[in-house]
Amino acid sequence: MQVYADNAATTKISSVALQAMMPGFEAVYGNPSSLHSVGQEAKEALEDARERVAKCLGCEPREIYFTSGGSEADNQAIISAARLGARKGKKHIISTAFEHHAVLHTLNKLEKEGFEVTLLDVKNNHNITAQQVADAIREDTCLVTVMYANNEIGSVLPIAEIGAVCKAAGVPFHTDAVQAAGHLHINVKEQNIDLLSLSGHKFHGPKGVGALYCRRGFPLVNVIDGGAQERGKRAGTENLPAIMGMAAALEDACANMDTNMAKVAAMRDKLIEGLRKIPHCALNGDAVNRLPNNVSFCFEGIEGESLLLLLDMKGVCASSGSACTSGSLDPSHVLLAIGRVHDVAHGSLRLSLSEYNTMEEMDHILTVVPEVVAYLRSISPVWRDLQTGKREYIL
Ligand SMILES: *Cc1c(COP(=O)(O)O)cnc(C)c1O
């Protein structure tokens, strides 16, 4: 049995999305900017996709800009708000300590340009409150950028409340909704969101394509310069097959959201309940306001990387703190941000599910994970020290 439980990293493309892409490679091969009929057919397909994406977010089609993915959308949203702020002499940005690197690294770059960034603390409930945002807003705040849901630990943030706070204060509000789109109900107007990023491959769409919602009238700044595509705000010939696939995937995910998420949440709850029984472990992330597909634990006395390799050998594809992808030994900034100490943060496991998973697969995970954790502990010098009392348990 092979169980794919790494859907926060990427998802398998759905047949709906794959089928929707095919015409983009074949019949509709034109360049949407061409004036002839082949080009105009491509243009129609592009605008049709834009309409579908807009409908899923509760906005107008002209408020949707297609990008190369979530990272680009995050970069463009933040840089646009920063440039607007700088023009008004406002150079303070509010975000959280557990954002995705697409947000944090963009903020780092702005700090080097003289912006001041306040990262809200996420230790309480592994989440933030709208009050924290309200308390952090200053005269010179030009942007609040707060993720909709965390990709590592699954916390879902109080986006509507934060939107209301930002609107009342007149501060632009961006949310990285890459983990939320297609999984949680989004309505940018009701939630007072000015800028929102999403990515095709996190909801069974293709990779390398995303979208930025930008409220009408908000001045976007180009990150990619060149032609006049995307209302002049994002140059480059549109990746039409991917855009068509993403639109179909999002539409499908939104149409079946309640059914899919109920199924996924039941599997998540079964895993959390079962894995909790492993001694000296802790659940990461908000236990109540949580993505329906996220299970994240720290197990004391083991290394996450060894855990992942052994789980893979037993047919379970999972993930640990995402920083390890860079080959660095630093534990995940997200786990450190919620207050896990280095040793504990190293022993993390993230299982992220989709509606393609089954209860039988959950049974397999619940057999395999406790075995592998017990084995790794049996050969761990740290665990021996904990057991003999040379070291004190943290969890
Ligand atoms: C995956 C992810 C991104 C990056 O999206 P890409 O399309 O891979 O660039 C950004 N933010 C979050 C929360 C993510 O999970």
The answer to whether the CB of 176 is under 6 A from ligand 1 is yes
Say if CB 202 and CB 17 are below 8 A apart: no
Residue 324: is its pLDDT beyond 90? Answer: no
123-142 pLDDT, tens digit per residue, is 999 999 999 999 999 999 99
Q: Where are the domains of the chain?
A: 3-10+257-388, 15-255
The answer to whether the CB of 102 is under 6 A from ligand 1 is yes
C-alpha 197 to ligand 1 mean position (Å): 9
Give φ, ψ of 323 to 5 degrees: -65, -25
Give the pLDDT confidence score for residue 381 in this predicted structure: 95
Residues 184-204, mean pLDDT to the nearest whole number = 98
Residues 4-31, mean pLDDT to the nearest whole number = 97
**Considering the chain, what percentage of its residues have pLDDT values greater than 90?**
97
| Torsion sign (Cα): 304, 309, 315, 321 | positive
Residues 4-28, mean pLDDT to the nearest whole number = 97
**Considering the chain, what percentage of its residues have pLDDT values greater than 70?**
98
Question: Can you name the residues that pair with 298 across neighbouring β-strands?
Answer: 282, 348
Q: What's the token pair of residue 111?
A: 């700090």
Following CA atoms 375, 381, 387, 390 in sequence, which dihedral angle do they give, to the nearest 10 degrees? Answer: -170
49-92 pLDDT, tens digit per residue, is 999 999 999 999 999 999 999 999 999 999 999 999 999 999 99
Q: What's the token pair of residue 372?
A: 């592998």
Residue 210: DSSP 8-state: E
Q: What's the token pair of residue 179?
A: 């983990």
How would residue 322 be classed by pLDDT, with cut points 50, 70 and 90? low
From the CB of residue 105, how many other CB atoms can be counted at a distance below 10 Å? 14
Say if CB 146 and CB 128 are below 8 A apart: yes
Q: What's the token pair of residue 85?
A: 């702020």
Give the pLDDT confidence score for residue 330 in this predicted structure: 80
Q: Which helix (H) or strand (E) holds 160?
A: helix 159-169
Say if CB 193 and CB 166 are below 8 A apart: no
Give the pLDDT confidence score for residue 230 in this predicted structure: 97
Is the whole model's pTM more than 0.85, yes or no? yes
Residues 342-354, mean pLDDT to the nearest whole number = 96
C-alpha 73 to ligand 1 mean position (Å): 9
Q: What is the identity of the amino acid at 204? A: H
138-165 pLDDT, tens digit per residue, is 999 999 999 999 999 999 999 999 999 9
How would residue 327 be classed by pLDDT, with cut points 50, 70 and 90? low
In whole numbers, what is the pLDDT of the chain averaged over residues?
A: 96
Residues in CB range of 140: below 8 A, 6 or more apart: 85, 89, 90, 91, 92
Q: Which fold has domain 3-10+257-388?
A: Aspartate Aminotransferase, domain 1 (3.90.1150)
The answer to whether the CB of 154 is under 6 A from ligand 1 is no
Residue 324 known to be catalytic = yes
201-257 pLDDT, tens digit per residue, is 999 999 999 999 999 999 999 999 999 999 999 999 999 999 999 999 999 999 999
Q: Which CATH architecture has domain 15-255?
A: 3-Layer(aba) Sandwich (3.40)
The answer to whether the CB of 32 is under 6 A from ligand 1 is no
User: How many whole angstroms separate alpha carbon 166 and alpha carbon 173?
Assistant: 6
User: How many whole angstroms separate alpha carbon 8 and alpha carbon 196?
Assistant: 18
Give the pLDDT confidence score for residue 56 in this predicted structure: 98
CA angle 88/68/166 to nearest 5° reads 35
User: How many whole angstroms separate alpha carbon 250 and alpha carbon 258?
Assistant: 14
Question: Can you name the residues that pair with 92 across neighbouring β-strands?
Answer: 116, 141
Which residue from 100, 106, 157, 203 has its CB within 8 A of the most atoms of ligand 1, so it is best to mutate?
A: 100
C-alpha 392 to ligand 1 mean position (Å): 37
